Amino acid sequence: MYTIARKEEIINMLELEGEVDVNTLSAHFAISKETVRRDLRELEKQGVLTRTHGGGVYNREQHNKQAEYPIAIRGIQRFNEKNEICRYAASLIEDGDTVFMDNSSTTMYLIQYIPQSLRVTVVTNSMKLLLEAVRIANVNLQYVCFGGTFKESNLSFYGNTTLKNAQAYYPNKAFMSCAGIREDGLVTDASMQEVDTKQLMLKQCKAIYYLADYTKFSSSGQVYLSNLTSGDALITDHKATTQQIAPIRSLGVQVTVV
């Protein structure tokens, strides 16, 4: 099992049980105890848990106070589902497009699936996306960052400077994620600092695609973002149930399941 998938499962165990121990994890994953300890050390650095003698306990109270995990942790969660969503979303991008990608743990995977032959301009407020761009090294992708006040936990930019710079762009397409989706189509977000930039792009983009894994149908953020009926499509993964998707489709929203 890859490290990223293993950490995702450890986080799931912590959320369900509140604690984990090295011996159990070593047997469960069929890996050495030292490898488990390394995973726990890394998750502790990222604020997910506090290590104890022989294991670790979930920082539940800390996370209950936070709007969301740092983006490094959110990027681990639902890794496979997010990649499948992005693989399909990339097929909607055409040569010459200018696209907005928000700062989310889903869209950060999108640029790796854009065909190397396409010339595309990506506008964003996401430092994480720019770091991913360095790894991808696709010379046909041009990046424009809005800049602004830096948010360290999210590796993103927000504030008046961000908004002022964003006003100059009218992308062909926007790819956005969210914190939660209600049955009535209401879309919520977790970051009150970044939501105004996303809302501006929703107004200025020609086509809007929401990227949301199956967990978004059972969660909610603290701030209003938009309504799905204002977009062009919702792209989700195969773990989303018929009961979750049916109310959204009844609103006339195009839903693609990958």
Contact in structure between 168 and 231 (CB atoms under 8 Å): no
Stretch 44-57: mean pLDDT: 88
- CATH, domain range 79-257: 3.40.50.1360
Residue range 5-17, pLDDT digits in tens: 788 788 888 888 8
- Whether 127 shows a pLDDT value over 90: the answer reads yes
Question: First CA to last CA across the chain, in angstroms?
Answer: 23
Residue range 232-254, pLDDT digits in tens: 999 999 999 999 999 999 999 99
The string of DSSP codes covering 118-173 is --EEEEESBHHHHHHHHHH--TTEEEEE---EEETTTTEEESHHHHHHHTT---SE
Could you tell me the pTM of the whole model?
0.76
Residue range 187-235, pLDDT digits in tens: 999 888 999 999 999 999 999 999 999 999 988 888 999 999 988 999 9
Structural domain boundaries in the chain: 3-65, 79-257
Give 67's pLDDT tier (boundaries 50, 70, 90): low
Residue range 172-181, pLDDT digits in tens: 999 999 999 9
Stretch 125-148: mean pLDDT: 94
Q: CATH topology of 3-65 equal to that of 79-257?
A: no
Stretch 132-155: mean pLDDT: 93
Give 58's pLDDT tier (boundaries 50, 70, 90): confident
3-65: what CATH class? mainly alpha
216: left (phi over 0), alpha (psi -120 to 50) or beta: alpha
